[in-house]
Structures are given as C-alpha cells and as structure tokens.
C-alpha cells in the first residue's frame, strides 16, 4: 500500500489510545479518532497522553464521514458497542475493513449485523498491560493485535490489506490459522483473570504469587473449556496453561481492564464474560457455578458504586 491509508479509531480507552498513538508516531495523518462533540471537547481540553507524551489526534464527529475509511478499529467497552456501531456508519464504505477489538465472543456478530460480515475480520488484543487514568494511559508492553478470517490457511484480500497497514504502521500483530479457536482462547483468559481480578481487587502480581487466586482463575476458565467442547471448538487444558504463561510475563503492578473499571467506578463487561458463560452453559447443559458466582459478585460491586 503506497498511499497513506485512512485509519479510524472509535474509542480512546487504554487499548484505543495505545494503538492510535502507534499509528500517530509513524504518520500523524494516518489516524483519526471518531467521537461525539462532548468527548472531543473533553479530549481537547484535557489532552490525550500515552506514556507521558501528548497526542494531538485529529478528531471527527460521527456525521462527518464520507465512506472513505480503509480500516476502522472499534476499541470501546461492550456496553458502548451499540453507540460505536452507529458512530462509524458514515465512515464505512466499499473499501472499509472493520476490526472489533472488544473482549468477549459476541461483538463481531453485532457489528456484522449492522454492516455485513464481509466488512469484518475477527480480532482481539493480547499481551498489553496498559493502565488508563482519565485521558492518560501508560504501558510497558504493547502486546499484539490478533486478527483474521475464521480460518487463515491462505490470506484473504481483507487480511492482506490489514496486514499491509499494520506493517506500514509497525503495529505488532498475529494472523492465526484457526482464528475462532484463538478468540475462544482470549475469551477464556478474560473470563478467568479479568473477572477474578475485579472481585479480589488483585493486580497481576497477586496471580503470580498466590496459589488460591490462580486456582480461582483456572476454575472460571475451565467452565469455558467445557462449553467450547460442546460447540466443537478445540480448546484444551494446554491452552489454559499457555495463557498462564502469558499472564506470568505481565508486570506485577499491572491491572486488568475490569479491575481498572471497578476501581474507577465504571460499568464493567461482566455480561460479556460471566453473563455469556452462564447463558451458554444453560443452553448446552454445562454447569457454570464459578461464573454464576462471579456474575452476581461483580453486579454487586457495580451497584455499590452506582448507588
């Protein structure tokens, strides 16, 4: 891709701001942030900082689009997805590819209903340890964007296009052969460490050194493995151990996104995690007592600070 691609981001949380900054560092004109007027005013007033550096991103409102986006990254929380789907509408055109970087296993289906699965690639972020406070985000590990079609024995034109854009912007990425399996692997990871960290108020270091925290995380994750088996997705105990290896590389003071949400008094993504596990468990006859507990525990936490 010789011309500078038009990349748009919807959502400037920890993930969105880190990857928007990565694009900006290579070519400021490559990246644009879609946001409503209220958010734009706040971002302009307070500034966006990543690892202490100010990023004067170009902002546009949802109605200003002309359908010319090459790539749109959706980087919002699950409960803001519907708003984001509407916000990007005028930027989606014939050549646009959409990546929904949300946690969970349901966002692609929702985006696909709005724009057609032909506009979409499956994706998620792994290995990042970004911490956000207000409009300031800090990280030591940028992680990588995992993306692709459901199966990637050969790369489709969409995959090749996004690969080329990421290469140009020096964004770390991975294109797995079996993307659906990788999505479930990340889902299992979030169901375990994200939720348990929120209930225990535990940064990564707690899971590194305290056996019981690790065991609780593993118990929640194994419920995902049992559901995956029912759906014919080859998720195994070995996958669980592999994600624990990833967890062990993260900084001990680092925190999951759900713990950050709880500490900041924000709504969490528990419905996308324990809520989905409980629902699928009922549907496929798999007992999910740990996730049933986590769903109620985190809903209780939310109500203590939303009251």
Considering only 34-43, 177-186, 241-250, which range has the smallest mean pLDDT? 241-250
Query: Taking the domains of the chain in order of start, what are their residue ranges?
Result: 7-177, 180-306
- The pLDDT, as a whole number, for residue 2 is 53
How confident is the model over 100-152, as pLDDT tens digits? 999 889 899 999 999 999 999 999 999 888 989 999 999 999 999 999 999 99
Instruction: Indicate if the pLDDT at residue 171 is higher than 60.
Output: yes
Token representation of residue 119: 């506009």
Instruction: Indicate if the pLDDT at residue 307 is higher than 70.
Output: no
How confident is the model over 270-294, as pLDDT tens digits? 999 999 999 999 999 999 999 999 9
How confident is the model over 7-18, as pLDDT tens digits? 999 999 999 999
pTM of the model: 0.89
Tell me yes or no: is domain 180-306 CATH 1.10.1040.10.
Answer: yes
Confidence tier at 231 by pLDDT (50, 70, 90): very high
- The pLDDT, as a whole number, for residue 1 is 53
Query: What is the chain's mean pLDDT, rounded?
Result: 95
- The pLDDT, as a whole number, for residue 305 is 83
Please state which CATH number belongs to domain 7-177.
Answer: 3.40.50.720
Pick from 67, 8, 10, 16: nearest CA to 36: 10
């Amino acid at each position: 891709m010789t011309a500078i691609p038009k990349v748009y981001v919807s959502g400037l949380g920890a993930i969105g701001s880190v990857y928007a900054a990565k694009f900006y560092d290579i070519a400021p004109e490559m990246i644009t942030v879609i946001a409503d007027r209220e958010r734009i005013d706040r971002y302009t007033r307070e500034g966006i900082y990543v690892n202490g550096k100010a990023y004067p991103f170009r902002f546009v409102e949802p109605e200003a689009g002309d359908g010319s986006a090459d790539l749109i990254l959706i980087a919002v929380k699950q409960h803001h997805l519907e708003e984001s789907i509407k916000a990007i509408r005028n930027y989606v055109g014939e050549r646009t590819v959409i990546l929904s970087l949300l946690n969970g296993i349901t966002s692609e289906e929702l985006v696909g209903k709005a724009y057609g699965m032909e506009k979409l690639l499956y994706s998620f972020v792994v290995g990042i340890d970004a911490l956000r406070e207000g409009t300031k985000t800090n990280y030591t590990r940028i992680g990588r964007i995992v993306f692709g079609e459901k199966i990637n024995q050969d790369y489709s034109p969409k995959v090749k296009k996004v690969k080329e854009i990421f290469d140009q912007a020096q964004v770390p990425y991975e294109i797995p052969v079996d993307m659906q399996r990788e999505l479930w692997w990340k889902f299992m990871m979030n169901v375990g460490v994200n939720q348990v960290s929120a209930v225990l108020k535990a940064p990564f270091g707690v899971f590194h050194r305290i056996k019981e925290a690790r065991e609780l995380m593993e118990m929640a994750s194994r419920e995902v493995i049992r559901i995956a088996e029912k759906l014919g997705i080859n998720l195994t105990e070995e996958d669980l151990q592999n994600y624990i290896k990833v967890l062990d590389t993260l900084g001990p003071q680092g925190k999951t996104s759900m713990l950050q949400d709880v500490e900041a008094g924000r709504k969490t993504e528990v419905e996308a995690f324990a809520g989905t596990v409980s629902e699928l468990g009922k549907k496929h006859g798999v007992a999910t007592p740990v996730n049933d507990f986590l769903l109620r525990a985190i809903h209780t936490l939310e109500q203590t600070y939303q009251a």
